[in-house]
């Protein structure tokens, strides 16, 4: 019992260990919030020890608050990691940690479909920024890459000037590092390249990160924007158009618009860099089609 109680006394130490095992900044933030919320409840609920019964009780509390299955399961995943790392570092009895691992998550009924933009909505969104300003040029270039290339927001945040190259007589974003450190290259539609060029020309950026912070006087910082900043940018323009979307919905819209435009499903999957793409390549012998790429089937019109 004494070793079991030590877990609360050492929570900051163990939490840091847990967060060090997570690569994604968003996951670190989510896990940190989940563990903080759990330990707040733990300290206020009069629990006698961290064990399976305590975690099960917290799970029931989350359900009674009406939290969704995805949120509850994320919290439980963070708590399981806490227990596992605590046991590995001799802060928690290993048998208790095993019991906590057996707390089942919530079964999710159905599947979240997300939101998509049609062609008209997509054009409205990317033409919303005021291109008479540096900020507007930057934001439009960002929106075109999210929508025209299907990039994740963290991929767009890390994008550098030298990654835009000519391959097989067309512009391509090369060496994008996605989930699980998988690398892929994605063709660019002409309208996205135009928007990016206008931003780079106006900003004077010739190397390093493409998307930078701007202060109130529109002076360009050396630091690149974060994926959270990209989320805020997308939400701001989406709200102006009353579009219920988030950055990942632009990735979904890329896939749907390309598919409706006639792009092959396997080519869309390659552009998106889905986890099963390597298996698909081996099974079908599919290679990225740079001549007739998915983005070529999305005909967006940029305002002059």
pLDDT in tens, 66-94: 887 878 888 898 899 888 888 888 888 88
Q: Which residue has the higher pLDDT, 289 or 53?
A: 53
Is 283 assigned a catalytic role? yes
Q: pLDDT for 165-189, tens place per residue?
A: 999 999 999 999 988 788 999 999 9
Q: Which CATH class is domain 2-101?
A: mainly alpha
**pLDDT at residue 285, as a whole number:** 45
Active-site residue identified among 52, 119, 198, 248: 248
Mean pLDDT of 281-287: 44
Catalytic residue among 59, 80, 152, 153: 152
Residue ranges per structural domain of the chain: 2-101, 119-297
Annotate the chain with three-state secondary structure: CHHHHHHHHCHHHHHHHHHHCCCCHHHHHHHHHHHHHHHHHHHHCCCCCCCHHHHHHHHHHHHHCCCCHHHHHHHHHHHHHHHHHHHHCCCCCHHHHHHHHCCCCCCCCCCCCCCCCCHHHHHHHHCCCCCCCHHHHHHHHHHHHHHHHCCCHHHHHHCEHHHEEEECCEEEEEEEECHHHCEEEEECCHHHHHHHHHHHHHHCCCCCECCEEECCCCCEEEEECCHHHHHHHHHHHHHHCCCCCCHHHHHHHHHHHHHHCCCCHHHHHHHHCCCCHHHHHHHHCCCCCCCCCHHHHCCCCCCC
Q: Tell the CATH topology of 119-297.
A: hpI Integrase; Chain A (1.10.443)
In the structure, what pLDDT confidence band is assigned to residue 263 with cuts at 50, 70 and 90?
confident
| Known catalytic membership, residue 33 | no
More confident residue, 118 or 111: 118
Q: Does the annotation mark 152 as catalytic?
A: yes
Q: From the candidates 179, 219, 260, 278, which is the catalytic residue?
A: 179
Percent above pLDDT 70 for the chain:
88
Q: Which of 158, 251, 252, 297 is catalytic?
A: 251
Active site residue 274: yes
pLDDT value at residue 145 = 96
Q: Is the pLDDT of residue 10 over 70?
A: no
Q: Would you call 209 a catalytic residue per the annotation?
A: no
pLDDT value for 199 = 97
């Amino acid at each position: 019992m004494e070793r079991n109680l030590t877990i609360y006394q050492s929570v900051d130490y163990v939490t840091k260990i847990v967060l060090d095992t997570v690569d994604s900044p968003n996951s670190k933030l989510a896990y940190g919030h989940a563990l903080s919320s759990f330990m707040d409840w733990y300290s206020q609920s009069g629990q006698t020890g961290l064990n399976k019964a305590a975690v099960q009780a917290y799970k029931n509390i989350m359900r009674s608050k009406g939290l969704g299955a995805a949120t509850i399961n994320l919290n439980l995943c963070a708590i399981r990691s806490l227990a596992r790392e605590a046991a590995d570092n001799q802060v928690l009895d290993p048998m208790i940690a095993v019991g906590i691992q057996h707390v089942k998550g919530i079964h999710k009924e159905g599947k979240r479909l997300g939101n998509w933009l049609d062609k008209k909505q997509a054009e409205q969104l990317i033409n919303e920024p005021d291109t008479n300003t540096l900020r507007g040029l930057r934001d439009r270039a960002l929106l075109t890459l999210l929508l025209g290339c299907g990039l994740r927001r963290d991929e767009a945040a890390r994008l550098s000037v030298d990654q835009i190259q000519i391959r097989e007589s067309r512009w391509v974003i090369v060496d994008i590092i996605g989930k699980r450190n998988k690398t892929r290259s994605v063709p660019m539609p002409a309208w996205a390249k135009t928007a990016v060029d206008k931003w780079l020309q106006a900003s004077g950026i010739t190397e390093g990160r493409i998307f930078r912070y701007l202060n109130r006087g529109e002076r360009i910082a050396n630091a690149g924007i974060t994926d959270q900043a990209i989320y805020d940018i997308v939400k701001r323009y989406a709200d102006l158009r009353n579009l219920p979307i988030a950055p990942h919905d632009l990735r979904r819209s890329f896939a749907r618009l390309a598919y409706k435009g006639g792009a092959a499903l396997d080519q869309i999957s390659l552009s998106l860099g889905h986890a099963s793409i390597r298996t698909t390549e081996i099974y079908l012998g599919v290679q990225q089609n740079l001549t007739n790429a998915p983005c070529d089937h999305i005909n967006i019109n940029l305002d002059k």
